Amino acid sequence: MPNMTFAQALNDAHKVEMERDPKIYVAGEDVGVYGGIFGVTAGLLDQFGDKRVKDTPITESAIVGTAVGAATVGLRPVIELMFVDFIGVALDQLYNQAAKMKYMFGGKARIPMVMRASCGAGIGAAAQHSQCLEALFMHLPGLKVVMPSTPYDAKGLLIEAIRDDNPVVFLEHKLLYALEGEVPDGTYTIPFGQVDIKREGKDVTVVATAKMVHTALSAAEKLAADGISVEVVDPRTLCPLDEEGIIESVKKTHRLVIVHEEVKFAGSGAEISAMVAEKAFDYLDAPILRVAAPFCPVPFSAPLEQAFIPSEEKIIEAVRKVRE
């Protein structure tokens, strides 16, 4: 299999799907001539033309709103929000319209749209361009929430998202765009709601998302040197969530640490923790611990930003604590 970066894998997913289905179009700020600020849509304008690759004004409400309308009449829009932080000005279009139309029309309406957006800290982009907001979208019935951690997953999950007849929020951590990995040529899909065991282990389950998957894997490698076997579980999709996949891992290890870059309070880890406590409490030999960001905006200061982001050391500390 060829090696691709995370961004190239997403780009390839766009290409294979746009070649397959002429109803798919791409829209967003700087997605055409510039190729997307992270390079995800590079070359699409040249290949598919300006009727299917649309540079838009800086107005997220219009980007999302027109996508909802287009999806209801049979097109399959893939829109780029650039930064997930900007969803605030388009929330009504997303959660009151896209998420609810199928329900309100008795299942007769289809909204096959994908909203891609970058998320995450680590590049000094400060409080309004660095958030992880996946828990916000998880709380809205009607939306599917996808969060890949590898180039392979990124391509397969995006193709699955484009083919889905429901609105999908597809979140991409900024620090993953340059990550390289093996990605098959052509078309393949990864079904939603299936965890991926990124590392087998028997002592502690660590459920981690996006960039934190790699931080957890690094921590697991160091813990292995001390004889602690960590299983790293990547949900890949947060809605639908593979509850059984997570529970099966917990049944094996009897301990759970959840790691995400969102603010800890009411983050996705809270839902995962509650689900395991409700459905697999008798299998736990220690309290569930969460490693996440503090309850504050993302700092601009580089040292403070690094302190904000969950670290390898904090994961190691949490794993050791549940092993006590």
The domains found in the chain, sorted by start residue, are 3-182 (3.40.50.970), 196-323 (3.40.50.920)
Tens digits of pLDDT across the chain (324 residues): 889 999 999 999 999 999 999 999 999 999 999 999 999 999 999 999 999 999 999 999 999 999 999 999 999 999 999 999 999 999 999 999 999 999 999 999 999 999 999 999 999 999 999 999 999 999 999 999 999 999 999 999 999 999 999 999 999 999 999 999 999 999 999 999 999 999 999 999 999 999 999 999 999 999 999 999 999 999 999 999 999 999 999 999 999 999 999 999 999 999 999 999 999 999 999 999 999 999 999 999 999 999 999 999 999 999 999 998
Q: Model-level pTM?
A: 0.97
Q: How many C-beta neighbours within 10 Å does residue 57 have?
A: 8
129 is catalytic: yes
pLDDT in tens, 207-237: 999 999 999 999 999 999 999 999 999 999 9
Helix runs in the chain, H state only? 6-20, 44-48, 60-72, 91, 101-104, 134-138, 151-163, 211-224, 243-253, 268-280, 302-308, 312-323
The CA-atom distances, in angstroms, between 184 and each of 13, 60, 119, 136, 213 are 11, 33, 25, 32, 21
Catalytic residue (one of 129, 173, 214, 260): 129
CA-closest candidate to residue 10, choices 139, 140, 118: 118
The C-alpha atoms of residue 300 and residue 124 are separated, in whole angstroms, by 6
